[in-house]
A and B are shown apart, each in its own frame.
Chain A
Amino acid sequence: MMPPKHPHFLPHIKNPYWIIIFSFLLWVFLFRDFLSAKLALVHDAVSYYEQIKFFLDNVSRGVFPLWNPTWESGAPNDFFLRRIGAYNPFYGFILILQGMGLNYTLAYLAFLGAYYFLGIFGFYKLAHLIFRDTKSAFLAYLLLLFSSLGTNLFDSYLHLIFVPMIWFFFFLVDFSRNPQKHSFLGLIFCFMLLMTTYIPFYFATIFLSFVFCFIIIFFQDFLTICRRNLSFLNHNKIFAGFCLAALLLSALPSITFFHESSRGEFTLPFRADASSSQNALEVNINKITEWSIGEEVYFSYLLSNLPDMHFKVLYIPLFAYLIFSLGAMSRINKKLLLFFIWSLLVFLITTPQLPIYSYLYTHVFFFKYFRNSHFFLWLILLPLLILFVTELFRSILTHRPTTKKENILTMAFLLAVHFIGFLLTIFTKTASLTSFLTICFSFIFFILIFNGRLISKEISTLIFLLGLVFLPATEVYYHLSLNSPSYAGPSTYDRPFTDFSYTHSPDHTQKIYFGTKWYHLANSRLDYTIFGKYLSHKFILYDRTENISDKNLSFKEVEQAFAEQRNVAFVSSSGEDGADSRDVPKEALVIEKDAPEFRLLSYNMNSIKVKTNFPSRKFLVYNDSFDSRWQAFVNRQPVPVERANIAFKGLWIPPGENVVYFHFGTSGAYLMNYVLLALFYFLLISLLFLWITFSLRKS
């Protein structure tokens, strides 16, 4: 073998962290308008921004918000806590930045960027483990970093599933190769994060499909890995036992939430068809089949012109397509087969139009909870495609023409692929200066590779790769910035919300997304203006009550009573009417501010305490949605909470001075949440400690 012509001064680089960070800074530059709040968050990203703010603002005050009184006149907050993955210790980063003086918006955007980097870096580490080659791993990192996966940060919430999932697979591969405590703990920690964030069944589907494909293709390896892992567990019983106990504990919130969803106290009208579903989270199959992977791909195709770049458009760097084409003549190996079959399997079982989906929907319980099957495109199909392309790239790098004929054929093939690529960009109207330059530089790159000039100069290869992937992305994200709306101002929770107010604006949502079952009923059946005016007062006191049956509910009568502010509360119970025989005023007493007879003592998201002093017995209606988990105490004595005026809380107050206290949930529920929050932080710190000590021992 001939020695290299030019000595290279830089040693072989195992982990080029400086160029990884530099690449990420280039990504930050491309998205600077989004990360600096010059451009707005849109769609689901807004909701997550708000819910995380709501959660952090309360937790930083020592309140774990299990109830949200600001959402649709009050709703259980479990749903949102599960969506955001409330126990994620990385949210602490936002609090740290806020503590350093940054406002929440910028702190949150910084968190999004940093969390995305964490995920993409995890993908680099995973690719390095799989391909055992820095150049290939770096290419995989670049292709994913500059793909439109990153746009989901500002439009969706997929990063909350994607990041722990990637690290889960990294720790899984690492543990399979070399079982160590830190990788086992990492596996468990990521699994716990995934179980407590949004709908864990997306990850479950991805993981199970992976296991199935891996066993088929790498059966012998699978057996070896199982033996090795069992041996590790056998030698580390206490450690493994602790990890598994933590895992089981982290399953509790999801299990209790699932149980709550079947009790029917809350509803998601857009998801479920109330007549057919037993669980509020179930999605009607007709809703699922409206939009899936095929439609998402077509959507991207229809907006494939650069000036049309928008959110949800799937963009993969042009260089990937060139490698895809060049790799057509590569030999199929087990890795390629695994990525390919796994992709097809995921597509097959998650496309609702296919008959197999109806079978899975009926027989596999968690298929009823997927509303967004197109998420699989972003969560797994895109990363698998990039891994597939990276493996092709790795095999292309190993190709060395040995004869003159092979050399000519290779060059001809290279030229043909690039020329066809050039023509395709013109015919598909995706042509631009950067795409032409990319094709040219790619051609030069591969010529240098096949002539062996670049291989020894790893740094040059990495810089070349960065240029090839970054160049076309500049134009793509420039157009995305042009097509994105500007920052629209503070959102709901950017304004003060933690203080109590006796009166509210009569505006309320006409069609709710999420709320209690009874509130949804009242909201949809009562006149909008009358109901809005009723809701504008938090506390109303009545002298009389009237029992109503849920089966024969007269909405007109209730509506009339609200309009006239009649002095009678409608109670949904089977007890006697609380009719007072005294002469009572015609109108109910509306509390608009603190007064000698009625004063607010304390308030937070989960509870409220008031002091009353009325000369006669009164029925207090607190216009905050009813839920059976609410408890009430009058002078520290528990009293039953009635469901009043269809959807709200009510109770009788005796005459004289009383302290009335409403509190949501049990002490056990709060204890579980605080313990889990602490556990997640503890596990993260332990993971970092174990990993660092392992790395130091190894080096």
Chain B
Amino acid sequence: MDNILPEKIMKNSLLITRFLFYGNRVMILYLFAWVFFHATIDHPKSLNAAKITVLNRLLPSFVHLTGIMDDQEVPDKKKLRGCIQYYEKVVLYMPQLAEAYGLLGFCYYHTGEKQKSLEAYKKAALLNPHFFWSHYNLGLIDYKEGRYSEAVESFQKALTTQPEVNIKIINTSMIYKQILLGSGHDHYDITTHLRNGYAAVRLLLILSYSELKALKQTDQRNNRNDPTAMLKEKINLRPF
């Protein structure tokens, strides 16, 4: 009995000593600050407000982007860097926006990051399988890289999309509206571009098939006898 009491007192005094030791340390202030900030800040609200501000702060000028789309400007890595940063954040905060992935793919392509471009377009096609341009651009990159069977698959998917649906998607898309407003374009002829795109896909499909056929043959082809050489010259082999 006499042995237990001193042991208990010793244990308690050890605890008190420990408490006084740590209670007098700066880590207690850290703990207090952590509790204080978590109790006072509305974290989801602050985080959402900060995300919106990040996007507004990173919003680039789209003049160069539309210049590339219209074949008026040569892609400039530094100018596209701002667009890449912006769209990377858009897809991070709003991962359901297929158009953002598509534009990110476009920017990656023109800065030479082909693999990243391919992945972005794949994501865009997955999120919105009805959007013509995702399949078109995916097929185009595969075609240029020599992956003709994948290109054929993408071009076929592109041809199954409906033009009216695509026009509606572009007209209602917040992402595309930003580009039109930011670039100073009063009017963008979506219909003509889409018509040209569908025509290009048909030609690209023919080219892809002929490339696949040529690969199966063993003898060398002479370019001068290649019936598709003229077609290749007419096609604009850059993503949109």
Contacts and interface: CB of A to CB of B under 8 A. Distances in A.
B53 A295 contact: yes
A299 B29 CA distance: 25
A331 B24 contact: yes
Nearest to B28: A332
Interface stretch (B38-46, B119-127, B223-231): B38-46
B85 A353 contact: no
B150 to A, nearest CB: 31
Contacts of A347: 40
A344 B33 contact: yes
A330 B47 contact: no
Interface residues of A, number: 32
A234 B49 CA distance: 54
A310 interface: yes
B9 interface: no
B50 A295 contact: yes
A44 to B, nearest CB: 14
A640 interface: no
Q: Which of B41, B42, B58, B82 counts the most chain A CB atoms within 10 A? A: B41
Interface string A326-349: 011111100010001000100110
A441 interface: no
A291 B29 contact: no
A332 B29 contact: yes
A298 B48 CA distance: 9
A328 B30 contact: yes
Contacts of B85: 307-308, 483
Given A331-B24, A336-B29, A294 B54 contact: no
B40 A351 contact: yes
B49 A290 contact: yes
A340 B33 contact: yes
Contact of B26 (A290, A291, A307, A327): A327
A336 B26 contact: yes
B110 interface: no
Contacts of B40: 347-348, 351, 353-354
A392 interface: yes
B51 interface: yes
B27 A329 contact: yes
A672 interface: no
A332 B33 contact: no
Nearest to B58: A310
A505 B29 CA distance: 61
Contacts of B49: 290-291, 295, 298
B54 A302 contact: yes
B74 to A, nearest CB: 18
Interface in A289-314: 290-291, 294-299, 301-303, 307-308, 310, 312
Interface string B33-73: 10010001111011101110110011000000000000000
A349 to B, nearest CB: 11
A482 interface: yes
B177 interface: no
A294 B46 contact: yes
Contacts of B82: 483
Contacts of A312: 57
B26 A332 contact: yes
8 contacts: A298-B49, A301-B50, A302-B47, A328-B25, A330-B25, A340-B29, A344-B33, A483-B82
Given A332-B24, A348-B40, A351-B40, 4 more contacts: A302-B47, A302-B51, A331-B24, A344-B36
